[in-house]
Structure 1
Amino acid sequence: MLAQPDARAAAALLALTAAFAAVVALLPWPAGRITLGAAVGAVAGASLLVDLGYPGPYRLPAFWLPFEWLALLGLLFRAVRGLSDRRVGPVGGLLGLAAVLLPLRFSLRTPQGGAAWSVVGVLLSLLPLLGVAGAALYLRVLDARRERAVARARREQRLEVARGLHDFVAHEITGIVLEAQAGQLPDQEPGETAALLRRLEEAGLRALDSMDEMVGALREPGGEGGRDGRSDPPDREERADGATTRRLGLADLPELVTRFGATGAGGTAGVPRATAELAPETAGRLSAEAEATAYAVVLEALTNIRRHAPQATEVTVRVAPGTDGTVELTVTDDGGPSRRPLLRRRPGAGGTGLAGLTARAAAHGGSLTAGPGTPAGWRVSCSLPGR
């Protein structure tokens, strides 16, 4: 603070204040341990101190004031857009106060400098100040929406990968484990070992294919639509590496059920009789996404039969038209002599498959229920509305 109204010292003070504000406004923050909030607060505090203590010639600030004012507006924009919710209010308010009171530097200590013009300057500075703050606040809202959208997309991607691991890879791994356990049973026929190894190889390759597709989905997308600019057909989706994979649906259920019956449940009861009954009128009734959900429901139900009812002798998958254009899907098993699980239950494992599929069915406007069958066994029912 100056004791005498020395023009050169006053000019140096104004120049340093304006230069300090401009440098802070142009530098990237954070810089080392100094955060944007600390730097902006220092500039606002310095500007307010000069306003209160400037004793120099009243005409001298007119040269430096525009530079400092523009720097304060730039800092206000960066602070409102970039600071955390906890700091944006105090720091932004301090900056706004410094920018509004800057014209009072003419007359706060020297009334002869024209108090009326200083007040006019304060009023005129409000409009651009509010404009800058409003623009920064608007961009802050857009940034927050974008961050939420990215977080939501990442969460959905993780859920999609988890779904793929559970629906497809876990199904094949469960089959591999049960086949390996069945291979340890005594009195194996000479040709059964070779057939068992062949089924293990096929299940392992299917699991690898499923993991390859999930890894491809995690890669950076190459663009929208197909490589020629056209969108993929409804029953197909393009992977990130350019390869096109077909969504599994109702038409793939007979192959799935046949494969399940061929590999068996791995229990001592032998290979269960697995049948698929698909009504022809259900073809094309569901959307591609709903058909993928229906396929996942059957896959999960068959996996649970392998895990929890390895001695089941009868497994039936039925797809029939329902009322009001719906498609009714049921998977039943007779439970066999005992529903004692063949697989040892791992701590924290299981319990999420049907819950996740219930949510997926509800997302399509359908429903899924699971419970004891009649007179025995287990029954999984899913109802999906037609398109």
Structure 2
Amino acid sequence: MRTDSPSVRSGSGRPWPARIRRPLAAGSALALLAPVALAQPDARGAAVLLALTAALTAPAALLPWPAGRITLGTAAGAVAAASLLVDLVYQGPYRLPAFWLPFEWLALLGLLFRAVRRLPDRSVWAVGGLLGLAATLLPLRFALRTPQGGAAGPVAGVLVSLLPLLGVAGAALYLRVLDGRRGRAVARARREQRLEVARGLHDFVAHEITGIVLEAQVGQLPGQEPEETGALLRRLEQAGLRALDSMDEMVGALREPSGQDGRVDQGGRDDRETRSDGATTRRSGLADLPGLVARFGATGSLRATADLAAGTAGRLSAEAEATGYAVVLEALTNIRRHAPQATEVTVRAAPGEDGAVELTVTDDGGGPGRKPLLRRPGAGGTGLAGLTARAAAHGGSLTAGPGPSGGWRVSCSLPGR
């Protein structure tokens, strides 16, 4: 929902604070009421009516809204209705409206600008139309009462009022569209940031926590030697530190403006990111797969091997390499969760056709209780289903299914730069 800001921007783009706007509104109201004392006694009642209408309209255009329970839409609608009512009931001298008419007309245009730009969609057209009608018909308060004026005067007055009104409404509508685009862009950026944090939690933190849980289960087995216990504790410490590092990176990403990650691609490629505290974190890529697989194989009794063909690392963009790393990480995490009986895991990365990179993760089976790795479409957007969309965003593909040896196979193809 749109709400009117407590400050209005001046021509230089700086907001007028409320401490300036309220005295300005009070001064304008007093200035418009003061000439009533100079009116002829027989016309003083009509002068009071005209002065009150102008004195209400000008402050409404200047005051910050909402004021208590009164919103901009309520104030603007009430002022426009009062102006139209005076047009209908005014019976005083025809020259008297000429003094207050310009001030009221300018105030109505100011209210129209604020209403069109700031009011919610459900009320902007009603209030804006009422204000536009009041500003357009305001000159008739003088023109229709001019003796022997004919039809030319009222028509000219309406046209002279209508043309600036259309310009003001058009400018306000243009700024409203820009505000809407800016709001949608901010919403998209926030959504992407939330998705990035969710991916980090799923891809990295959950992977390390799964490893910690498995290590803890292994540590509960009887017959552990002191050396094995010491190595187990060191692996737990390292996994915990990696999870903390991942959390620090995600918190740093939340604190930084989007699009300022300091990455350089193509010539002079750099896959490091500079955080707001001056620290530099490295984005994982294909070159990090052997270390990932080695850590995975150090947990439990399965044998894990990594086959990274020469020339594979560096063929993809930094974002595509991060996606490939996340695919392997997710496949290994799923093996821990759904195939605890697996004894052998193989990760291969090799160049494909047209500069692409082919990634495969296979295991030798997890027993009859194994669950499928690939989630149903629309089942939450996490896991390999979410990574399938990420691979497709880079022009690649991802598939998962039974392997040739009875286990499970995850394949990902990512096009080169």
**Pairwise same-fold verdict (TM > 0.5):** yes
Q: Given that residues 6 and 56 in structure 1 are in contact (C-alpha distance below 8 angstroms), is that contact kept between their aligned partners in structure 2?
A: no
Q: State the distance in 2 between where 1:340 and 1:198 align.
A: 30
SS of structure 1 residue aligned to 2:138: helix
Q: State the distance in 1 between where 2:345 and 2:165 align.
A: 73
1:160 aligns with 2:190: no
Q: State the distance in 2 between where 1:340 and 1:327 align.
A: 29
Q: Given that residues 297 and 304 in structure 2 are in contact (C-alpha distance below 8 angstroms), is that contact kept between their aligned partners in structure 1?
A: yes
1:71 aligns with 2:101: no
Q: Given that residues 318 and 329 in structure 1 are in contact (C-alpha distance below 8 angstroms), is that contact kept between their aligned partners in structure 2?
A: yes
The offset of 1:308, in angstroms, is 0.8
Distance 1:225 1:333, change over 3 A: closer
Instruction: Percent identity, please.
Output: 84
Distance 1:350 1:254, change over 3 A: farther
Match of residue 303 from structure 2: 273
SS of structure 1 residue aligned to 2:95: coil
Distance 1:90 1:236, change over 3 A: same
Distance 1:22 1:243, change over 3 A: same
Q: State the distance in 2 between where 1:203 and 1:302 align.
A: 15
Deviations 1:146-183 (CA, angstroms, capped at 9, x unpaired): 11001000000000000000000000000011111111
The offset of 1:84, in angstroms, is 1.2
The offset of 1:244, in angstroms, is 1.7
The one-letter code sitting in structure 1 at the alignment partner of 2:297 is G
Q: Given that residues 274 and 315 in structure 1 are in contact (C-alpha distance below 8 angstroms), is that contact kept between their aligned partners in structure 2?
A: yes
1:215 aligns with 2:245: no
The offset of 1:326, in angstroms, is 1.0
Q: Given that residues 43 and 93 in structure 2 are in contact (C-alpha distance below 8 angstroms), is that contact kept between their aligned partners in structure 1?
A: yes
The offset of 1:337, in angstroms, is 5.3
1:22-37 matches, cutoff 5 A: 22-37=58-73
The offset of 1:223, in angstroms, is 9.7
Deviations 1:321-380 (CA, angstroms, capped at 9, x unpaired): 111221100000002556558xxxxxxx98821111111100000000111111211100
1:100 aligns with 2:136: yes
The offset of 1:96, in angstroms, is 0.4
1:249 aligns with 2:249: no
The offset of 1:234, in angstroms, is 3.2
Match of residue 348 from structure 2: 318
Distance 1:84 1:223, change over 3 A: closer
Match of residue 83 from structure 1: 119
Deviations 1:90-138 (CA, angstroms, capped at 9, x unpaired): 1111100000000000144565566532321111111100000000000
1:151 aligns with 2:180: no
Q: State the distance in 2 between where 1:330 and 1:356 align.
A: 17
Q: State the distance in 2 between where 1:115 and 1:36 align.
A: 36
SS of structure 1 residue aligned to 2:197: helix
Q: State the distance in 1 between where 2:67 and 2:189 align.
A: 31
Distance 1:48 1:336, change over 3 A: closer
Q: Given that residues 225 and 232 in structure 1 are in contact (C-alpha distance below 8 angstroms), is that contact kept between their aligned partners in structure 2?
A: no
Distance 1:358 1:273, change over 3 A: same
1:201 aligns with 2:237: yes
Match of residue 354 from structure 1: 384
1:128 aligns with 2:158: no
Distance 1:79 1:66, change over 3 A: same
Q: Given that residues 47 and 96 in structure 2 are in contact (C-alpha distance below 8 angstroms), is that contact kept between their aligned partners in structure 1?
A: yes
Q: State the distance in 2 between where 1:151 and 1:321 align.
A: 38
Q: Which moved more, 1:184-193 or 1:358-367?
A: 184-193
Scaled by the length of structure 2, the TM-score of the pair is 0.84
Scaled by the length of structure 1, the TM-score of the pair is 0.90
Q: State the distance in 2 between where 1:33 and 1:302 align.
A: 58
Q: State the distance in 2 between where 1:216 and 1:64 align.
A: 58
Q: State the distance in 1 between where 2:381 and 2:314 align.
A: 32
The one-letter code sitting in structure 2 at the alignment partner of 1:132 is V
Q: State the distance in 2 between where 1:223 and 1:154 align.
A: 12
Q: State the distance in 2 between where 1:114 and 1:57 align.
A: 17
Distance 1:188 1:339, change over 3 A: farther
1:368 aligns with 2:398: yes
Distance 1:339 1:255, change over 3 A: farther
Q: State the distance in 2 between where 1:79 and 1:222 align.
A: 32
SS of structure 2 residue aligned to 1:358: helix
Q: Given that residues 261 and 273 in structure 2 are in contact (C-alpha distance below 8 angstroms), is that contact kept between their aligned partners in structure 1?
A: no
Distance 1:261 1:302, change over 3 A: same
Distance 1:324 1:232, change over 3 A: closer
**1:46 maps to which of 70, 78, 82:** 82
Distance 1:232 1:209, change over 3 A: farther
Distance 1:126 1:351, change over 3 A: closer
Q: Given that residues 256 and 275 in structure 2 are in contact (C-alpha distance below 8 angstroms), is that contact kept between their aligned partners in structure 1?
A: no
Q: Given that residues 261 and 275 in structure 2 are in contact (C-alpha distance below 8 angstroms), is that contact kept between their aligned partners in structure 1?
A: no
The one-letter code sitting in structure 2 at the alignment partner of 1:382 is C
**2:53 maps to which of 17, 23, 30:** 17
Q: Given that residues 169 and 207 in structure 1 are in contact (C-alpha distance below 8 angstroms), is that contact kept between their aligned partners in structure 2?
A: yes
Q: State the distance in 2 between where 1:370 and 1:11 align.
A: 83
Deviations 1:200-238 (CA, angstroms, capped at 9, x unpaired): 111111100100111111114499576xxxx99531122
Distance 1:307 1:224, change over 3 A: closer
- RMSD between aligned alpha carbons? 2.2
Distance 1:101 1:232, change over 3 A: farther
The one-letter code sitting in structure 1 at the alignment partner of 2:311 is E
Q: State the distance in 2 between where 1:64 and 1:72 align.
A: 12
Q: Given that residues 55 and 110 in structure 1 are in contact (C-alpha distance below 8 angstroms), is that contact kept between their aligned partners in structure 2?
A: no
Q: Where does the alignment leave 5 or more consecutive residues of structure 1 unmatched?
A: 265-270, 342-348
Q: State the distance in 1 between where 2:293 and 2:357 align.
A: 18
Q: State the distance in 1 between where 2:292 and 2:227 align.
A: 24
SS of structure 2 residue aligned to 1:369: strand
**2:336 maps to which of 306, 310, 321:** 306
